[in-house]
Each structure stands twice: as C-alpha cells, then as structure tokens.
Amino acid sequence: MALVDRLVAAGLREIEVTSFVSPKWIPQLADGEAVARAVARPTGVRMSALVPNAQGYARFRASALPVAAIFLSASETHNRKNVNCSVDESLTRSKQVIDAARADGVSVRAYVSTVCGCPYEGAVKSSAVVGLVRALCELGVAEISLGDTIGVGHPNQIRKLVGEVAAEVPLERIALHLHDTYGRALANVQAGFDAGIRRFDASLGGLGGCPYAPGASGNVATEDVVDLFESAGVSTGIDLDALVDTSAWLEAEVLGRPLPGRVYRARRGKREREARS
C-alpha cells in the first residue's frame, strides 16, 4: 500500500495494484483482496487488478476496483504455459469475465502477450495479433495493451504492428507494454509514440518479467519513459524526482537489491556526486 501511495503522490493516475491469479501458482499474490481493500483510492486515479478467469473475477468484484485486466497470448504455446489452455479457450474465458464486468459496470482492459515474439515458437505473425485485437474488441474490451513479453521487438516492427492494429481499432484504445530484455524498450516506446500510441505501461525501476518467458527482463522503467517524454517537451504530469525517491525506497527498504532502471541509476548517481562536492 505504501508503494501505491507513493506512486499516486508522484502523479501516476493509472495503477495496477494487484492480481487475482490462483495463489496455488503464485503464492506471493495470495493477499490480493487485502491489498485491494487497504489501498487508498483518491479521486482521479484509476486502479485495476489482473483477472485470469471467472474465479478470479469473483475475487476481483469483492474488491470493488473499477477496472479488471484480463490477459492472453498471441502464441499458442505461451498461452498454454501461462494459463494452461489454448488461445480460443482463453477467449471463451475472457468472454465470461467481460460479460460479468459489463453487468457490473466494470471496465475491462486486455493484455495481449508475445506480440513481437514467443519464447517457445519464435516469430509471431502480426495477423495473429490483429485477429486477437479484433476478437477482443467484438467482446467489448475497452482497452488493449500489446505486450512484447520477451523484449525482442524493434522499432520498425512496432511501427508496422501499430499500423496494422490501427486499421482495426482507434489507437486511443491501444497501449504498449514493452519489456527491456535486449535494451530496445525505450526505442520501441518512441516508435510507438511516433506511430500514434499515447498510452504506455511501465514498471517502477524496471521491475518485472514473466515466469513463463525464460530470460525476459522487466518492463521498461517508468522513470525512463517519463524522462524520455519530458526531455522532448511532452508533459506527463509525473514528478520524476518523486519517482526516483520511490525507487530508492523500494530498492533499499523493500527489495534489498538493485533496480535496473537507467534513469533511476543515473539520477541517483548524480545526486551522490553532488552530495560529495
């Protein structure tokens, strides 16, 4: 809860606070309900939680959060590894959640993983991604986040994919979720922005990864994305110094290990040099 409070204070207005996946598979998330109940919900901040299926949605609904986030993969093998069913079966499960959410007045966000490549199958056809986007829109999803789960995407690929998706759905409903495994996430953010995307998922200090994508690094660091846009004169409304302070707190007081975010490390280093001078 302290982390969410710090992110809100830094200016973040959309935060995924927990996940209602099965505690059997990810025990660290067994306290999802407690976290959702305890977190403060300031006006103007939209909070969401990950929901894998109807059982997860029942737990989510008890939390009274306003946005449910479903997820599925563009590649069959990753989808089976991640949620133990085919892509078509995932769509059926997703429809159950979407229908229930619509009846409850809850907005649904969808993550489509492995849009640039799969750790098991290799290349993923853009037509598979576009087909899933089309299907999810038909089911009633409000927003779709396209995820480069293993961080293999490159700017030309991102521009091409965004262009193909734009032919199916307005880009205001599309976000990008980019991992930094090969150090290209920030370049891909810029490519997505140039192609018309205005919503980007990010992770404080570059935390994250995927247990079913061996070797994948965390999401692009929030500080890196904020610095990229602010340096280019694109206002984000986010206090970069407050983000750096929060990452420093998270690194020292919670995790006890270094965070990989480039801007975070650079600004911490600058502060330390200035303190010594």
Is residue 85 flagged as an active site residue?
no
Q: DSSP string of the chain?
A: -HHHHHHHHHT--EEEEEE-S-TTT-GGGTTHHHHHHHS---TT-EEEEE--SHHHHHHHHHHT-SEEEEEEESSHHHHHHHHSS-HHHHHHHHHHHHHHHHHHT-EEEEEEE-SS-BTTTB---HHHHHHHHHHHHHHT-SEEEEEETTS---HHHHHHHHHHHHTTS-GGGEEEEEB-TTS-HHHHHHHHHHTT---EE-BGGG----TTSTT---BPBHHHHHHHHHHTT------HHHHHHHHHHIIIIII-S----HHHHHHHHHHHHHHH-
Q: Which residues have a Cβ under 8 Å from the Cβ of 159 and sit 6 or more positions away?
A: 191, 192, 194, 195
| CA distances in angstroms from 210 to 52, 150, 270, listed in the order given | 15, 8, 32
Q: Which of 85, 116, 118, 210 is catalytic?
A: 210
Catalytic residues: 210
